[in-house]
C-alpha cells in the first residue's frame, strides 16, 4: 500500500475513462450539453471526496473535521465546500458516493 507522501497514480481503466470523457468534452459544441456534463462531473467529484472522507473516518477513527482537512490537502483542486452534511450515518457511505456517471 502506498504511503501518504507518495503521489496517487491512475489505473489503466481510470486513464481510459479520462481519455473517453476528454474526447466526449472535445467533441461537444453545445454549451448546454457541456454545462450538464460539467455538473455531472462536479457531482461525481464531490461524491468521491465525501466517500473518501467517510472511509478515512471509518478506518482511522478521526473526527469529521480532521478527515475533511486531510482530504482537502490531498485534493488537486480544492473546493470552497469542504464540509459535508453535519450528520452522516457511520455504517453507510454518503448518499451518492457509489454513483457512476
What SS3 class is residue 70? Answer: helix
Q: Is the pLDDT at 75 greater than 80, yes or no? A: no
pTM of the entire structure?
0.48
Which residue carries 481503466 as its cell?
A: 13
The alpha helices in 4-30, defined as continuous H runs, are: 12-27
Contact criterion met (CB below 8 Å) for 27 and 21 = no
Contact criterion met (CB below 8 Å) for 71 and 52 = yes
Tens digits of residue pLDDT in 7-23: 789 899 999 999 998 99
Which residue carries 497514480 as its cell?
A: 9
Tens digits of residue pLDDT in 36-74: 988 998 999 999 999 998 998 888 876 666 656 666 776
Contact criterion met (CB below 8 Å) for 99 and 47 = yes
For the chain, what are the domain ranges? 33-75
Amino acid at each position: 500500500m502506498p504511503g501518504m507522501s507518495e503521489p496517487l497514480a491512475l489505473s489503466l481503466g481510470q486513464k481510459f475513462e479520462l481519455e473517453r470523457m476528454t474526447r466526449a468534452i472535445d467533441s461537444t459544441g453545445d454549451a448546454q450539453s457541456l454545462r450538464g456534463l460539467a455538473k455531472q462531473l462536479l457531482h461525481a467529484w464531490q461524491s468521491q471526496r465525501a466517500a473518501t472522507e467517510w472511509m478515512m473516518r471509518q478506518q482511522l477513527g478521526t473526527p469529521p473535521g480532521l478527515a475533511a482537512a486531510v482530504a482537502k490537502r490531498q485534493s488537486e483542486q480544492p473546493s470552497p465546500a469542504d464540509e459535508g452534511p453535519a450528520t452522516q450515518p457511520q455504517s453507510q457511505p454518503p448518499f451518492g458516493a457509489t454513483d457512476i456517471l
